[in-house]
Amino acid sequence: MELILLERVRGLGLMGDTVKVKDGYGRNYLLPRGLALRATATNLKTFENKKKEFEAKNLQLKAEAEAVAKKMVGTSLVLIRHAGDTGQLYGSVTAKDIASAMDEKGFKVSRTQVHIPQPIKELGISKVQIHLHAEVEVDVTVNVALSEEEAQMQFAKATKGEEKAAPKAKKAEVEATAEEIEA
């Protein structure tokens, strides 16, 4: 099936590209979501006539996504889960869990926007990507723990490890800040 992309699709192409895809992918994913049009002569003419509108809409959506991304940078989530003695979770943390936790933080994210590089099946801190737009992604820290107290300990331990890896100047800033807090 030949399609004209109406916006950038990861791993497929940019807006305006004519691509060949499998029938099921085009019919069940790209066309219903409005990401593409069938590559017919009339649709090619329609696309050329409305290309500026599509580009303007895409730029507006990208700008909105970038504004949300600026607010979302540095976000960390705490998910409380039950686990065995070895730290293995009973189940796993899913994209739906992360999307609902982001919703509680005030960010409207669907589960399809959450990209988990590998399944989260153990207690600890993980990085997860949120795809706000085809060209805008944000990394979010997910802290999976047995309780709030353990989550705070894990986060403190992780930041302490980052402090050791920090340059001496940054370490001096951290120490100066710590001295100010103590005083």
Do the domains 74-182 and 2-70 match in fold? no
Domain layout of the chain by residue ranges: 2-70, 74-182
Residues in contact with 109: Cβ distance below 8 Å, sequence separation at least 6, in sequence order:
98, 99, 102, 103, 130, 132
User: At residue 90, does pLDDT exceed 70?
Assistant: yes
pLDDT digits (tens, 9 = 90+) for 121-148: 999 999 999 998 888 899 999 999 998 8
pLDDT digits (tens, 9 = 90+) for 35-84: 999 999 999 998 888 888 888 888 898 999 999 999 999 889 999 999 98
Give the phi and the psi of residue 39 in degrees, each rounded to 5.
Answer: -85, 70
Strand boundaries in the chain, DSSP class E: 2-5, 18-20, 36-38, 76-80, 88-93, 114-115, 120-122, 124-133, 136-145
pLDDT band, very low/low/confident/very high, at 162 (cuts 50, 70, 90) = low
Q: What are residue 20's DSSP bridge partners?
A: 2
pTM (2 d.p.): 0.71
CATH code for the part of the protein at 74-182 = 3.10.430.100
CATH T-level topology, domain 2-70: Ribosomal Protein L9; domain 1 (3.40.5)
Q: pLDDT category, 117, cuts 50, 70, 90?
A: confident
